[in-house]
Amino acid sequence: MVTINNRYFNKVEIMIYRPIVIDEEIVFSKKKFIVSKTDLKGNILFINKNFCEISGYSEEELIGVNHNALRHPDMPRSIFYLIWSSLLAGKEVSGVIKNLAKDGRYYWVIADFSPKKDARGTITSLTAFRRAAPDQVIEEIEDLYATMLKIEKKHGMEGSLSYLEAFLEEHELSYDDFLGELVKPKGIIATLLSAFKKMFS
Ligand SMILES: Cc1cc2nc3c(=O)[nH]c(=O)nc-3n(C[C@H](O)[C@H](O)[C@H](O)COP(=O)(O)O)c2cc1C
C-alpha cells in the first residue's frame, strides 16, 4: 500500500492494468511535451494532459501507481538502474525510453529526469520531462537495447552494464556524453522545452 494525500492505493492494481504488447508505434508531435512527477519510489504524484493523451491512461488510473506500469518489455533493466542511481545521488540524467501505452502499443521518448530538493538539499520528488524521440535516435538506441536485453536475460544486469561500458569505451564516451549528444534538443524544440520545464519546476 502507498499513501498519497491521505488516500490509499493498492500496488497490486498495476498488475491488472498490464496490457498485451502490440508491435505498433504511437507517433506524436515533437511539440507535445509529457511530464510526470513521482515520489522517491517512483509512485506517480502528477501527470499532465499530454501524458494521458499519449499513454491512453486517465489521471485516476495512474496517480499513486508506480511508474513501472508503463515499462515496456524491450527496455533493459540496466537503463533504469543508471537513471535511478543518478537521481538518488541528486543528479539530473536523461534517457531514451520505449514506453508501453494502455492499449499495448509503444511510444519512444527522450526523457530528462530531475530530482527536486528542499532548502536543505534533501530530495523531495522526481520529475521527468519527455518529448518524442526522433527516428535517428530510435535507430541508434534500438540495436543497443536489443543487445543489452539479450545479455541481461542470460547474464543479468551486471552483464548488460559491462556490455554498455565496453560499448562506450569503444566510442570513447561516458554515458552522459553519449546521451548528451544523442538527446540534446535543438532549435525551436529546445526553446519550447526550456519554457515547459520552467512551468513545471
Ligand atoms: C520521474 C520518473 C519517471 C519515470 N518514467 C518512466 C517511464 O516513463 N517509463 C518507464 O518504464 N519507467 C519510468 N520510470 C522508472 C520506473 O520507476 C521503473 O524504475 C522502471 O519502469 C523499471 O521498472 P522495474 O524496476 O519495476 O522493472 C520513471 C521513474 C521516475 C523516477
Q: Look-up: residue for cell 537521481? A: 87
What letter represents residue 77's amino acid? R
Q: Is 185 in the pocket of ligand 1 (CB under 6 A)?
A: no
Q: How far apart are CA 80 and CA 6, in angstroms?
A: 29
Q: Is the CB of 126 under 6 A from ligand 1?
A: yes
Indicate which residue's Cα is closest to atom 2 of ligand 1.
128
Mean pLDDT of 18-46: 95
Which residue lies with its CA nearest to atom 29 of ligand 1?
A: 42
Does any ligand 1 atom lie closer than 6 A to the CB of residue 67?
yes
Spatial distance between the Cα atoms of 110 and 128, rounded to a whole number of angstroms: 10
Per the CB < 8 A criterion, the answer to whether 160 and 151 are in contact is yes
Nearest CA to ligand 1 atom 18: 68
Give SS3 for 104.
coil
User: Which is the closest atom of ligand 1 to the Cα of 128?
Assistant: 1
How does residue 40 score in pLDDT terms, banded at 50, 70 and 90?
A: very high
pLDDT at 1 over 60: no
User: What is the residue-wise DSSP string for 6-38?
Assistant: TEEE-TTHHHHH-PPP-S-BPP--TT--EEEEE
Q: Which of 70, 111, 112 is nearest to 91 (CA)?
A: 112
Mean pLDDT of 27-44: 95
pLDDT of residue 7: 52
Distance 42 CA to ligand 1 centre (A): 7
Confidence of residue 63 (pLDDT cuts 50, 70, 90): very high
Position 26 confidence tier, pLDDT thresholds 50, 70, 90: very high
**What's the confidence (pLDDT) of residue 110?**
95
Q: What is the pLDDT of residue 12?
A: 46
Kindly calculate the radius of gyration of the chain based on its CA atoms and give it in whole angstroms: 17
**pLDDT recorded at residue 179:** 83
Full set of structural domains in the chain with CATH: 2-134+186-200 (3.30.450.20)
- Ligand 1 centroid to 182 CA: how many Å? 20
Structure confidence by residue, pLDDT tens digits, 144-183: 999 999 999 999 999 999 999 998 898 888 888 888 778 7
Question: Is residue 4 predicted with pLDDT exceeding 70?
Answer: no
On whether the CB atoms of residues 96 and 110 are closer than 8 A, the answer is yes
Ligand 1 atom 4: residue of nearest CA: 67
Closest CA to 40 of 119, 118, 132, 130: 118
pLDDT computed for residue 157 by the predictor: 93
With a 6 Å cutoff on the Cβ, whether 11 touches ligand 1 is: no
Percent of the chain with pLDDT over 90: 71
- Residue 109, strand partner residues: 97, 132
The whole-chain average pLDDT of the chain stands at 88
Residues 160-184 as b or e (16 or more Cβ within 10 Å = b): bbebbeeeeeeeeeebeebbeebbe
Show the DSSP H helices in the chain as ranges: 13-17, 49-55, 59-62, 77-88, 135-170, 175-183, 187-200
First to last CA, the chain: 28
Q: Whose CA is nearest to atom 3 of ligand 1?
A: 128
